[in-house]
Amino acid sequence: MTLKFDGSSTEGTAGAGVVIISPTEVKTTLSFNLDFPCTNNQAEYEALVIGLEILKNLQAKNIQVIGDSQLVLRQVAGEYKCTSLSLAPYFAAASQLADDFEEINFQYVPRQQNWEANELDQIASGLKLSEELTHRLVLIQKRNHPSIIQRGLQVGTFNWMLIWQVIGEKN
């Protein structure tokens, strides 16, 4: 299975885009409106966590994760350390989910090669659509709380011991 993800945050809104491609090349595209304050990197992590949760629920075993955020991909792949207090709970959630797969590969691509996920997060955040996407029926889900809260973590008020334990294991 392949997961393409992207997230974006603007002054007033944020969105997450997820593209899941099955082994038989069936493509599912999803948009999520993030109705809570978040940075662009937090929106990127939201998209990744949402996508990984979907693949986990589909009982995927071997996955390819593709995105245009070098920071997020390299942190979760263990190439970069996560030192940001605001990203630590997202890093912990994504790392815990990544451990649920037998094999997981991370691939960075430039934004132009991640255009579908990018446009899906743009749709969710209310920005202008390209002509190619305007003819499609798109369901946009609203998320009122960060995905990390559902996993028992929160920005600012979370269990630091758990976060640092996970970060320490990954870094």
**Cβ atoms of 150 and 93 closer than 8 Å:** no
- Which ranges of the chain have pLDDT less than 70? 127-143, 150-171
101-135 residues labelled b (16+ CB within 10 A) or e (exposed): beebebebeeeeebbbbbbbbbbbbeeeeeeebee
Q: How far apart are CA 65 and CA 61, in angstroms?
A: 13
Q: Residue 89: is it exposed, middle or buried by C-beta count within 10 angstroms (0-12/13-18/19+)?
A: buried
pLDDT for 39 equals: 94
Model pLDDT, residue 140: 62
- Distance between CA atoms of 146 and 157, rounded to whole angstroms? 13
> What are the E-state strand segments in 40-137?
62-67, 103-108
pLDDT of residue 139: 60
Please state the separation of Cα 112 from the chain's center in Å: 18
* Token digits of residue 135: 């003819």
What's residue 133's pLDDT?
Answer: 54
Q: Hey, what CATH topology would domain 2-170 get?
A: Nucleotidyltransferase; domain 5 (3.30.420)
DSSP 114-153: GHHHHHHHHHHTTPPPPHHHHTS---EEEESS-HHHHTT-
This prediction has a pTM of 0.76
In the DSSP assignment, the letter for residue 113 is G
* pLDDT at position 142: 67
For the chain, give every domain's residue range. 2-170
- pLDDT tens digits, one per residue of 133-164: 544 555 666 667 777 776 665 555 445 455 55
d(CA 123, CA 17): 8
Other C-beta atoms closer than 10 Å to the C-beta of 90 total: 30
Phi, then psi, of 19 in degrees rounded to 5: -120, 125
Q: Considering only CA atoms, which of 41, 59, 7, 14 is closest in space to residue 155?
A: 41
